[in-house]
Amino acid sequence: MILHASGLSLPGRLTEASLDIAGGELVGLVGPNGSGKTSLLHALAGIGRPSGTVLLDGVDPRTLSPAQRPAWLTYLPASRDVAWPLLARDLIALGGGGSSVAGLDLDALLDRRVDTLSTGERSRVLIARALAPRPKLLLLDEPTANLDPLWQIRLMERIREEIAGGGRAALVAIHDLDAAAHHADRVLVMDGGRIAAEGLDGPHVAAIFGVERVSGRWREADRRSSP
Partner 1 sequence: MSWRAFLPPLLAAAFAASLLLPLAPLLGLDRGLAIAVLVELRLPRALLALAYGATLAASGAAIQALFANPLASPDLTGTTSGAALGAVVTAYLFGFAAPVALSLGAVLGALAALALLLALAGPKAETATLLLAGLAISALAGALTTLALALAPSPFAFYDAYDWLMGSLIDRSLDQAAFAAVPGVLTILLLLRHGPALDRLALGEDVAQSLGDDVVRLRVEIVCLTAFGVGACVAICGAIGFIGLVAPIFARRLTRGHPGRAILPAAMIGALLLSLADLAVRLAPLGRTLPIGVVTALIGAPFFLWLVAHMRWRLRS
| List of residues contacting partner 1 (CB under 8 A) | 42, 45-48, 64-66, 68-70, 73-75, 77, 79, 81-87, 90-91, 94-96, 113, 129, 139
- How open is the CA angle 185-58-16, to the nearest 5 degrees? 65
Closest distance of CB 159 from partner 1, Å:
17
Tell me whether residue 35 or residue 74 sits nearer to partner 1 (CB atom).
74
In angstroms, the CA 8 to CA 189 distance is: 16
User: CB of 6: closest distance to partner 1 in angstroms?
Assistant: 20
Q: Which is nearer to partner 1, 49 or 219 (CB)?
A: 49
Q: How far is the CB of 84 from partner 1 (least distance, A)?
A: 5
Helix residue spans in the chain (DSSP H): 37-45, 88-94, 119-131, 149-163, 177-183, 204-209
Q: Closest CB to partner 1 among 40 and 197?
A: 40
CA angle 21, 148, 106 (to 5 degrees): 80
CB of 174 closer than 8 Å to CB of 29: yes
- Separation of CA 169 from chain center: 11
Shortest Å, Cβ 123 to partner 1: 14
Q: Cβ closer to partner 1: 83 or 150?
A: 83
Q: How far is the CB of 16 from partner 1 (least distance, A)?
A: 22
| Spatial distance between the Cα atoms of 138 and 131, rounded to a whole number of angstroms | 8
Q: Which is nearer to partner 1, 6 or 79 (CB)?
A: 79
